[in-house]
Amino acid sequence: MKKTSLQFLQAHTNMAKVIGELAPDLLGEGYGDKMLYSLFIETVEQVPIAISITDKKAKILYVNKEFSRVTGYRPEDILGENESLLSDKRTPKEVYRDLWRTISAKKIWRGTLCNRHKSGERYLSDLTIAPMLNESGAITHYIGMHRDITQPYESEKKVINQKLLIESVINSSPIAMVVLDDQDRVILDNHNYKALVSDLDRAEPATYFLKLLRDEMGDLWSQLQSKEQGFNNREFRIESKGSQKIRWFSCAGNWFIENEVNADAFFEQTSKQYLILTITDITRQRRQMEELHIQTLKTIMAEDERVRGIRETLLGAMHQIQMPMNQIRAAEQILRHKRDDQHAGLLQILQQIQKSGEEAVATMQKCIPEILQTAVIPINLNQILHEVLLLNNQRICSNDIEVHWQPLSKLPTILGSENRLRILFKQLIDNAIDAVCESDGPEQRLKITTDTDADLIYVCIEDSGAGIPVEKRAKVFEPFYTTRPMGSNQAGMGLVMAKEIVNQHHGFIEIDPDCDQGCRFKISFPLHKQAFKGVE
Ligand code: FAD
């Protein structure tokens, strides 16, 4: 007889012994019983799971083919040995204690053990042990069924490790990152994103940013989404509750498709679209840029003020010369009408004075510096007013002035010259700060609001100063008129220039007659849609 057949017989003999003890009925004499018996044996023998049957002390009485394949032990190597032969001795004692506690209590035990193959190689065994009871309910044998799960365990561990690696890379990123599914639900996020929750005091910052992005991008959002094209550098200004009140964030996004892994998608591949949204806090960079911008503006404004100063001085001087010149011209005309030889010399002198006076005025006229032409572009007045407030920040803070800055969000644009409008509002805000500082009223307040209707944009600049008496309100827009005491360095040209700039922008400026406390300048401009004829 061949060795393999011997082994098979041996195995069957062992199995028959065990079955004989377990189910003596199966070993009956009838033809049907024999059929059932050999079918049963073949099934256990060929089933692709390692099966062993032991006595109550784990002495191995039977092993199937798969057991030999998984452990490397043939039946003749292992029959009569204890199952502990398979133990790698790395499995903690507590696991065995739990195993025996469970099966001794006639319950099924399931768990993972570290086993050693006959060759010495370790493998992980996913083991189930079931006690076998006799008619009186006593344990007679144990049946053990195990699978080598080393490979799936390694794959699963690799996936987990990769996930941990990805998570730690994402977490160490200085950028807030979040993955959202097609229902805008957060699937994955990092530490920086979680920090945003408290920083911005919003339960789900992603939902907030998604709304901002969709509002800003309009149709472009769904176009990019359908083509899985990303977006970046979408910047948003946000009022937060933290120490930094105004913060700036830059958002970027990328869509990707992932195949579903649930049972529904096993035969029918389905996929889902996800969005990786990154949110970068660019407040510091924005502040630096803003500071640089304000420095540049200060230089431009200083240069403009210098030019304006020269213009005002020369225009003032020309204005003052005009008076005696007119008198000389009148005297000269009187003398000329007299046709009197006696005054011929005086007439000549007067004519000479008049000539050199006119030459002096012409020279001054030539010396008046030109104000540079600036480009006419759509302008958001909120931005201009914000910049002017920043330009005046030092004066506002050092004089402890309370600023109520109430810009209308989404203010339409007007067409105009940025620089001219900046000069206009700087003049009005400078005046307001002066008025507040000079007053000894209970509050030091400056209020600036913007608003709009169908045709116009309104700016109100209001201060808590002494105000301008009703009778002087029209005069303040006249050249060289000032409410300041004589000798002050104010030439009285500021509001003239302000009115000129408003006129150039087809706007209207007035002092609100209804304002009884302090002073309120109301300025209105036509919206961008209106025709605009250029500015100086
Ligand atoms: P052991 O001295 O055998 O026992 C460790 C602990 O188990 C001790 O606390 C002891 O009190 C308790 N214990 C041992 N035998 C009994 C008992 N008869 N009744 C109550 N408590 C007992 N182990 C593996 O490592 N790999 C396997 O694949 C494996 N398969 C098994 C299959 C079956 C069907 C059975 C019944 C057991 C199997 N075991 C297996 C367990 C094995 O028998 C050993 O208990 C284990 O390997 C620990 O061996 P050890 O020599 O380190 O300690």
Let me know whether 392 and 503 are in one domain. Answer: yes
Q: At what angle do helices 381-391 and 283-338 cross, to 10 degrees?
A: 90
Q: Which atom of ligand 1 has the smallest separation from the CA of 56?
A: 18
CB count, 10 Å around CB of 89?
8
* Distance of CA 52 from the midpoint of ligand 1 (Å): 14
| Domain final residue pick, 147, 169, 190 | 147
Atom of ligand 1 nearest to the CA of 85: 47
How much distance in Å is there from the Cα of 135 to the middle of ligand 1?
Answer: 25
Binding pocket residue ranges, ligand 1, CB within 6 Å: 52, 54, 57-58, 82-84, 86-87, 91, 96-97, 100, 104, 113, 115, 125, 127, 129, 142, 144, 146
Domain at 493, CATH number: 3.30.565.10
Assigned domain for 428 exists: yes
Residue identifier of the C-alpha nearest atom 13 of ligand 1: 100
- Over its C-alpha atoms, the chain yields an Rg (Å, rounded) of 47
Q: Are strands 186-189 and 176-180 parallel, antiparallel or unpaired?
A: antiparallel
Q: Does the residue 533 lie in any domain?
A: no
Kindly report the CATH number assigned to the domain that includes residue 37: 3.30.450.20
List helix spans (H) across 339-402. 344-367, 381-391, 393-398
Residue minimizing CA distance to atom 48 of ligand 1:
84
Q: Nearest-CA neighbor of 85 among 44, 45, 141, 125?
A: 125
Residue pointed to by tokens 């008049």: 354
Question: Distance (Å, rounded) from C-alpha 395 to C-alpha 108?
Answer: 83
Indicate if 61 and 82 belong to the same structural domain: yes
* Tokens read off for 237: 């200004």
Give the range of the structural domain holding residue 312, as residue numbers without chain letter. Answer: 287-367
**Are 121 and 35 part of one and the same domain?**
yes
Is the pTM higher than 0.75? The answer reads no
- Domain boundary among the residues 122, 147, 172 is at 147
Position 536 in a domain: no
Chain segment 262-276, per-residue pLDDT in tens:
888 788 888 889 999
Mapping DSSP onto H, E and C, the string for 55-67 reads CCCCEEEEECHHH
Residue corresponding to tokens 């540049």: 296
Q: Are 247 and 213 found together in one domain?
A: yes
24 CA → ligand 1 middle, Å:
28
Count of CB atoms situated within 10 Å of the CB of 524: 21
Number of domains in the chain: 4
For residue 534, is it within any domain? Answer: no
Question: Is 532 inside a domain boundary?
Answer: no
Residues making up the chain, counted from first to last: 536
Within this chain, do residues 417 and 497 fall inside the same structural domain, yes or no?
A: yes
Q: Rounded CA gap, 288 and 283, in Å? A: 9
252 shares a domain with 300? no
Same-domain check for residues 89 and 218? no
Same domain, 265 and 330: no
Q: What is the pLDDT of residue 477?
A: 82
Q: Residues in the chain with pLDDT < 70?
A: 1-33, 240-244, 480-492, 529-536
- The pLDDT tens digits for 288-321 are 988 898 888 888 888 888 887 888 788 888 888 8
- Atom 25 of ligand 1, residue of closest alpha carbon: 87
Q: Which are the contacts of 56, defined by CB distance < 8 A and separation ≥ 6? A: 139, 140, 141, 142
Asked if the structure places residue 128 within a domain, the reply is: yes
192, 176 Cβ separation under 8 angstroms: yes
Verify that 118 and 238 share a domain, yes or no.
no
Examine the fold and report which residue of 266, 281, 296 is the final residue of a domain before the chain moves on: 281
Same domain, 67 and 141: yes
- Atom 2 of ligand 1: nearest residue by CA position: 84
Concatenating the DSSP letter of every residue in 75-101 gives HHHHTTSBGGGGB-S-S-HHHHHHHHH
Q: What pLDDT is stored for residue 343 in this prediction?
A: 79
Residues 133 and 9 reside in one and the same domain: yes
Mutating to test ligand 1, I would choose from 67, 87, 112, 140 the residue with most ligand atoms within 8 A of its C-beta, which is 87
| 535 in a structural domain | no
Residue 152 parent element (H or E): helix 150-172
State the distance from the centre of ligand 1 to the C-alpha of 137, rounded, in angstroms: 22
The answer to whether residue 8 is domain-embedded is: yes
What pLDDT, on a 0 to 100 scale, did the predictor assign at position 1?
Answer: 36
User: Residue 244's pLDDT is what?
Assistant: 61
Residues 307 and 417 grouped into a single domain: no
Q: What is the CATH number of the domain that holds 240?
A: 3.30.450
pLDDT value of position 536: 38
Q: Which long-range contacts (CB under 8 A, 24 or more apart) does 355-361 make?
A: 357/321, 357/324, 357/325, 357/328, 358/325, 360/321, 361/318, 361/321, 361/322, 361/325
Q: Which ligand 1 atom sits nearest the alpha carbon of residue 142?
A: 34
